[in-house]
Amino acid sequence: MHSSIGLGFGIALLSCMGLSVHGGTTSEVFGMTKDGREVEIFTLTNGRGMVAKIAEYGATLTELHVPAGDGTTVNVVLGFDNLEQYLGGHPAFGATIGRFANRIAHGRFELDGKTIELRKGGKHHIHGGTVGFSRVVWNGRILESDPGEAAVELRYQAADGEEGYPGKLDVVVTFTLTNRDELRIEYRATTDQPTVVNLTNHSYFNLAGSGDIKDHVLQLSADRYTVPDEDLIPTGEIAAVTGTALDFTSPTKIGERIETFYPRPGGYDHNYVINGEPGTLRLAARVVEPASGRVMECETTEPGVQLYTANWTNPGPRGIGGNYGRHSGFCLETQHHPDSPNKPDFPTTVLRPGGTFSSTTVFRFLTR
């Protein structure tokens, strides 16, 4: 492993605890998979006291501790403190999702005149299939970084035919904590055959650290959304959010209209079309937690973002913050639009040999 350069009392403390110290990043064993493979977890610390924990299993963000104005820190993502729970059933807390995030209708699409059949979890293909990138062990290494920053790189090679996808796919995901209190996630992928790629991170955020997120105030830089059918598959229509419960073009409490929209009541699970030019890093969302004054901004190069509000039934999974009940977190899954391989009018997700899939998302934390 290559050492990174970093600062902070937290690193010295970790060294005293006997962990492997590499400047702003440390590593330790998180656990063992059922087939006996060792899984590492990396702790990144920037010079301002922000801490991220990222596990090789699923290239998963397990914790993200953000400083507050009074000098304390709060973990703002839902997750577990042990590998065993990640190996069991859970709603993709913090995981890297691929080869194709979100849904592909009926697990089928056409590519260069061939019908591709994917593994399905029920009626449709979702989040990469029955295993997907969220349930495999990635290879992590610590990267050198600028003073006050910390970074880790995770690699995975998906085999030709894995989950039904054509082509051997080499994927690299880099997590960086910057000295501006940002978590920067960069994705790169190459293939040896034509295939489709759509990668995202599936973190659930709660800027209060506990409770539900209904009082969080959300603003999306999105005037339009992809209209879904009853199975949350886009119909192909892109419609304006104006006059609907999906309108977050001005700051609005997430819980204000959470039970009123279609096609299903009970919470948001919708893909928004981000304003501006896809491929350029631009603002997708801004979220404020009023009680603490904590603010999160999300920037991305992706064309869309899926807003999901943890719509499961109570009491929900038990994690680091206790029982994660209904609406205990929100996801901002930056992505290409769902079912893009079957929607020629959507931005393409096709990747060919010689090309590179490239995507960046930044989560920036501030206080009012």
> Using one digit for the tens of pLDDT, what is the confidence trace for 210-243?
999 999 999 999 999 999 999 999 999 999 999 9
| C-alpha to C-alpha distance for 57 and 54, rounded to whole angstroms | 9
Global pTM value: 0.92
At 262, the pLDDT band (50, 70, 90 cuts) reads low
At 263, the pLDDT band (50, 70, 90 cuts) reads low
Number of H helices, E strands in the chain: 2, 30
At 27, the pLDDT band (50, 70, 90 cuts) reads very high
pLDDT of residue 11: 40
Q: How far is CA 151 from the centre of its chain?
A: 17
- Give alpha helix (H) positions in the chain: 9-16, 83-87
Is the confidence at residue 7, as pLDDT, over 50? Answer: no
The mean pLDDT of 38-53, rounded to a whole number, is 96
> Using one digit for the tens of pLDDT, what is the confidence trace for 151-200?
999 999 999 999 999 999 999 999 999 999 999 999 999 999 999 999 99
CA-wise closest residue to 189 among 201, 202, 199: 199
Q: How far is CA 317 from the centre of its chain?
A: 18
Q: What SS3 state is found at 19?
A: coil
Question: What tokens were used for 295?
Answer: 């603010």
Q: What SS3 state is found at 195?
A: strand
Burial track 2-38 (b if 16+ CB lie within 10 A, e otherwise):
eebebbbebbeebeeeeebbbbbbbbeebbebeeeee
Is the confidence at residue 20, as pLDDT, over 70? Answer: no
pLDDT of residue 366: 94
Q: Which residues are catalytic?
A: 202, 333
Lowest mean pLDDT among 68-72, 90-94, 286-290, 324-328: 68-72
> Using one digit for the tens of pLDDT, what is the confidence trace for 327-364?
999 999 999 999 999 999 999 999 999 999 999 999 99
pLDDT of residue 327: 95
Average pLDDT, the chain: 92
Percent of all residues in the chain with a pLDDT value above 70, rounded to a whole number: 92
**Domains of the chain from N-terminus onward:** 9-367 (2.70.98.10)
Residue 288 sits at φ, ψ, to 5 deg, of -120, 130
CA-wise closest residue to 297 among 308, 310, 288, 305: 288
HSE-CB of 342 using CA atoms within 13 angstroms: 20
The mean pLDDT of 57-64, rounded to a whole number, is 98
Report whether the peptide linkage leading into residue 278 is cis, meaning its omega lies within 30 degrees of zero.
no
